[in-house]
Chains A and B, each alone.
Chain A
Amino acid sequence: MSDQKSQWIRHFILAALVVVLIHGLTIWALPRLIMDRIITGGSADLTLERAGGVILPPPTDHNQRRIVMPSPDLLYAVCFFDLSDTPFRVTLETDYPRYWSIALYASTSDNFFVVSDKNVAGGKVDLTVVRSRQAESQVVSPTRRGMLLMRLLINSDPEVRKKAEMARRSLRCGPNFETQDVLFGT
Chain B
Amino acid sequence: MSVDINTHNRRRQIILLSGLYLLAVALGVGSALLWLTKVGVSGERVGTWRVNLLAGSRDADVYTRARIALGAVLALNRSETLYYTTDHDDNGVTLRAECHYRVEGLPPPARWWSLTAYDADHFLFPNDLKRYSVSSETVRLDNEGRFSATIGAPTNSSQSDASWIPTSRSGVIHLTLRLYSASEAVQHAPGLLATPSIRRVGACQ
Contact = CB atoms under 8 A, between A and B. Distances in A.
Given A69-B118, A71-B114, A118-B181, A142 B58 contact: yes
B21 to A, nearest CB: 6
Given A72-B132, A109-B74, A11 B20 contact: yes
Interface residues on A, range: 35 or more
A153 B124 CA distance: 18
A64 B111 CA distance: 26
A118 B71 CA distance: 28
Contacts of A155: 135, 137-138
A41 interface: no
B30 to A, nearest CB: 9
Interface of A is mostly: mixed
A111 interface: yes
A22 B24 contact: yes
A23 B28 contact: yes
A162 B176 CA distance: 27
B75 A111 contact: yes
A114 B78 CA distance: 11
Contacts of A15: 20-21, 23-24
B27 A35 contact: no
B158 interface: no
Interface stretch (A25-33, A49-57, A88-96, A121-129): A25-33
Nearest to B78: A111
A181 B137 CA distance: 38
Given A31-B65, A38-B73, A70 B123 contact: yes
Interface string B50-84: 00000011101011011011111111110110000
A21 B114 CA distance: 40
B170 interface: no
Interface stretch (B31-39, B97-105, B141-149): B31-39
B133 interface: yes
Given A27-B35, A30-B32, A99-B181, 20 more contacts: A15-B23, A19-B28, A22-B27, A23-B29, A24-B62, A27-B66, A28-B62, A30-B66, A30-B69, A61-B124, A62-B130, A64-B124, A71-B114, A72-B130, A99-B180, A109-B68, A110-B65, A111-B56, A116-B80, A118-B111
Interface of A: 11-12, 15-16, 18-28, 30-31, 34-35, 38, 60-62, 64-65, 67-73, 99, 101, 103, 105, 108-112, 114, 116, 118, 142, 149, 153, 155
15 contacts: A21-B28, A22-B24, A23-B27, A23-B28, A26-B29, A34-B69, A38-B74, A61-B132, A68-B123, A69-B71, A69-B116, A103-B80, A110-B57, A111-B74, A114-B76
